[in-house]
Structure 1
């Protein structure tokens, strides 16, 4: 499924189901971003990979956001930012932050920016 245009190379961003560490997750990736296992069993970009845009659906799990949805990725690609709902340790307290595309990590949270109360 095509979700939008890559913010870096303007190719299509697609959604794939993959298995990572024994769990089914979604990978939102640019069509020009290709990875494979090399001879040392490291997961690396291929020689014909011309883009590095990739977001794993569980990328924000450490802040207790279980998954990033296809809808959120579509909005991120269209608006270049989204508001994400995060939770403190042990699920105590929730807070909202802006997230933007990041060339190396796929997605980045703007910790210093406060979300305007339009929710």
Structure 2
């Protein structure tokens, strides 16, 4: 399924089902960012890859957000940022932050930016 245009190379970003450590997750990847296992069992980009945009749906698990949804990825690709809901350590408190594309990590949270109240509906 095509979600939008890559923020770096204008290729199509697609969603794929992926299994990591026995759990099903989504991988959002640019069509020009292919990875394979090499001789040393490392997961590396192929020589034909011209882009590195890849985001796993569990990227925000550390902040108690179980999944970065396809809707959130579409909005990120369309608007250049998206508001996500994160949770405190015990899962009781919640807060909202902006997420933007990041060349090195796929996506980054803007910790120093406050989310405006009307955008907290996502």
User: Which category describes the TM-score, using the shorter chain as reference length?
Assistant: over 0.9
- Aligned 1:71-86 pairs, distance under 5 A: 71-86=71-86
TM-score in terms of structure 2 length: 0.96
Deviations 1:8-43 (A, max 9, x none): 000000000011111110000000000011101011
Deviations 1:59-108 (A, max 9, x none): 00000000011110000000000000000102021000000011111110
Equivalent residue, structure 1, for 2:111: 111
CA distance in 1, matches of 2:91, 2:16: 28
Equivalent residue, structure 1, for 2:20: 20
CA distance in 1, matches of 2:3, 2:24: 19
CA distance in 1, matches of 2:90, 2:36: 35
2:90 match: secondary structure: helix
TM-score in terms of structure 1 length: 0.98
Task: Give 5+ residue unaligned stretches, structure 2.
Answer: none
Task: Give 5+ residue unaligned stretches, structure 1.
Answer: none
What number of residue pairs does the alignment pair up? 119
Runs of 4+ displaced beyond 6 Å: none
CA distance in 1, matches of 2:90, 2:40: 37
